[in-house]
């Protein structure tokens, strides 16, 4: 690949994107996104995926990034200085991302973790999750797309994996003007159900057909918390996906766990995951349904639980959707808290980046108030350490959770 990337062989130097006066402040603070509205002028005619150099209106070089003409996020920066973006550069970045994981994770206790977390690893739009001997990656930005085969080769070499599977089928690809695609991009095809281990638990992951890259690695540390406080508890795990929280609770001594999810395929894996961990099947029930309705039906039946977990999908994709999402989060916590036995735990999550912890706490407080319950937060939960939050890029913080004792 040339200095300019595969789509820009004819240009001698990367095009220049010059910002409007005063619009460089966030970039100077290492925010890697340049929105179309901040751009004063583009010198040259960069195509989708081409490298561009970004300058302030007063001619200071701010960084080098990739160009995405279809997206409101017109440029994402690879670097905040004038560095040559080439295979060596990506090789150094991947090496650094892998090293970072080695300093924060105990690899003897888990075979799966996020190896590359996009902008937080200065690799915008690139997600790489490691599941035992396989990698699963997503290319979610037009500027990273031309480097796919380079990055796949680097990942194969540096990770020593047996195969790399691409899951670039997220709808955010369409905003980048990229088609959805998925399949093996290097080495062996992963087995239909790939086995991983996590703190003495075993899970099957459907890499090709599961959600996102197949498993929710951002919840690993939170599953440990659930395991620690589940002894002798009855647990209702809503939005369970493949039952990872249910397995953690049952391993921690929960007397019974119910996994509720809308996906029959995810629930089948949940049932298999319970068996895989030598847990008596009678301690687990899988319920296929809409969690909003299931919560109401348990109320009608007068059922109570010692712990209710709520981990719904992202309700707010952007700021505009926050009011509607807030109503949905409130409804869930309201319905759930009515089911909690006095002194029991409500563990409620939001993975909507547009809703911050303060707002989520207010929503939860309102829900308990309306349910005529009171409580206290005993723990704040977050995404795991392999999903680091770049200080200059608050968008990298998305998962938040509250553990509330409900009285």
Active-site positions read 351
Q: Which of 149, 228, 290, 303 binds ligand SAH (CB under 6 A)?
A: 290
In the list 128, 244, 295, 308, the residue contacting ligand SAH (rule: CB under 6 A) is 244
Q: What distance in Å separates the CA atoms of residue 103 and residue 75, rounded to the nearest whole number?
A: 31
Binding-site string for ligand SAH from residue 294 to residue 313, where x marks contact by CB under 6 A and - marks none: -----------------xxx
Q: Which is nearer to ligand SAH, 138 or 240 (CB)?
A: 240
48/219 with CB nearer ligand SAH: 219
CB 261 → ligand SAH: shortest distance, Å?
A: 5
Q: How far is the CB of 200 from ligand SAH (least distance, A)?
A: 17
Distances (CA, A) of 311 to 46, 152, 288: 41, 32, 15
Which span (82-90, 192-200, 239-247, 352-360) binds ligand SAH, by CB under 6 A?
239-247
Site for ligand SAH in 261-280 (CB under 6 A): 261-263, 266
Closer residue to ligand SAH (CB): 200 or 376: 200
Residue position matching structure tokens 């308990």 = 368
**One of 78, 134, 141, 216 touching ligand SAH (CB under 6 A):** 216
Q: Which helix (H) or strand (E) holds 376?
A: strand 375-382
Using CB under 6 A, pick the residue from 245, 298, 315, 329 that binds ligand SAH.
245
Q: In this complex, which beta carbon is closest to ligand SAH, that of residue 141 or of residue 245?
A: 245
Task: Assess contact for 238 and 310: CB atoms under 8 A.
Answer: yes
In the complex with ligand SAH, the residue whose CB is nearer, 129 or 311, is 311
CB of 248 to ligand SAH, least distance (A): 9
Burial of 222-242, coded b for 16+ CB within 10 Å and e otherwise, reads: bbbbbbebbeebbbbbbbbbb
Contacts of 48 (CB under 8 A, 6+ apart): 7, 67, 68, 69, 70, 142, 145, 176, 177
| Interface residue with ligand SAH, options 90, 147, 241, 315 (CB under 6 A) | 241
* C-alpha to C-alpha distance for 211 and 205, rounded to whole angstroms: 10
- Strands, E assignment, 273-372: 284-288, 305-310, 340-350
**CA 170, CA 110: separation in Å to the nearest integer?**
26
Residue in 55, 117, 239, 298 binding ligand SAH, rule: CB under 6 A: 239
List phi, psi (to 5°) of 32.
-85, 0
Provide the minimum distance between the beta carbon of 364 and ligand SAH in the complex, in angstroms, as a whole number: 17
Q: Rounded to an integer, what distance in angstroms lies between the CA atom of residue 370 and that of residue 337? A: 10
Is the Cβ of residue 48 or residue 337 nearer to ligand SAH in the bound state? 337
Q: Which of 327, 299, 333 is nearest to 402 (CA)?
A: 333
User: From the CB of 167, what's the least distance to ligand SAH, in Å?
Assistant: 15
Q: How far is the CB of 296 from ligand SAH (least distance, A)?
A: 12
Binding to ligand SAH, residues 149-168 (CB under 6 A): none
Q: Rounded CA gap, 287 and 114, in Å?
A: 29
222 vs 234 by CB, closer to ligand SAH: 222
Measure Cα distances from 41 to 3, 31, 73, 190, 241 in Å. Answer: 23, 20, 15, 46, 46
Name the residues that contact ligand SAH, by CB under 6 A. 211, 216, 219, 239-242, 244-245, 260-263, 266, 290-292, 311-313
């Amino acid at each position: 690949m040339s200095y300019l990337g595969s789509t820009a062989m004819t240009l001698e130097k990367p095009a220049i994107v010059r910002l409007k006066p005063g619009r460089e402040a966030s970039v100077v603070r290492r925010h890697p996104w340049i929105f179309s509205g901040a751009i004063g002028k583009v010198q040259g005619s960069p195509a989708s995926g081409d490298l561009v150099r970004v300058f302030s209106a007063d001619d200071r070089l701010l960084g080098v990034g990739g160009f995405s003409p279809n997206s409101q996020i017109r440029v994402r920066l690879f670097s905040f200085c004038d560095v040559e973006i080439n295979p060596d550069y990506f090789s150094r970045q991947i090496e650094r991302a892998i090293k970072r994981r080695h300093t924060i994770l105990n690899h003897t206790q888990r075979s799966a973790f996020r190896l590359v977390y996009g902008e937080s690893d200065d690799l915008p739009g690139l997600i790489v999750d490691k599941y035992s001997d396989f990698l699963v990656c997503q290319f979610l930005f037009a500027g990273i797309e031309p480097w796919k085969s380079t990055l796949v080769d680097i990942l194969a070499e540096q990770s020593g994996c047996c195969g790399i599977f691409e899951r670039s089928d997220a709808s955010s690809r369409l905003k980048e003007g990229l088609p959805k695609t998925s399949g093996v991009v290097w080495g062996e095809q992963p087995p239909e159900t790939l086995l991983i281990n996590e703190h003495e638990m075993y899970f099957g992951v459907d890499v090709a057909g599961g959600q996102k890259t197949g498993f929710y690695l951002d919840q690993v540390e939170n599953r440990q918390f659930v395991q620690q406080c589940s002894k002798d508890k009855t647990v209702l795990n809503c939005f369970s996906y493949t039952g990872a929280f249910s397995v953690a609770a049952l391993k921690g001594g929960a007397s019974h766990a119910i996994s509720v999810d809308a996906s029959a395929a995810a629930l089948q894996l949940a049932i298999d995951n319970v068996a895989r961990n030598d847990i008596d099947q009678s301690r687990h029930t899988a319920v296929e349904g809409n969690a909003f309705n299931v919560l109401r039906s348990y109320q009608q039946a007068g059922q109570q639980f010692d712990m209710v977990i709520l981990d719904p999908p992202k309700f707010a994709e952007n700021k505009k959707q926050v009011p509607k999402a807030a109503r949905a989060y409130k409804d869930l916590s309201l319905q759930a808290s009515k089911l909690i036995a006095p002194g029991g735990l409500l563990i409620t999550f939001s993975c909507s980046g547009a809703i911050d912890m303060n707002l989520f706490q207010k929503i939860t407080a309102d829900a308990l108030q309306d349910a005529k319950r009171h409580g206290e937060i005993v723990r704040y939960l977050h995404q795991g350490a392999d999903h680091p939050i770049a200080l200059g890029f608050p968008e990298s913080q998305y998962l938040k959770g509250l553990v509330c004792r409900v009285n």
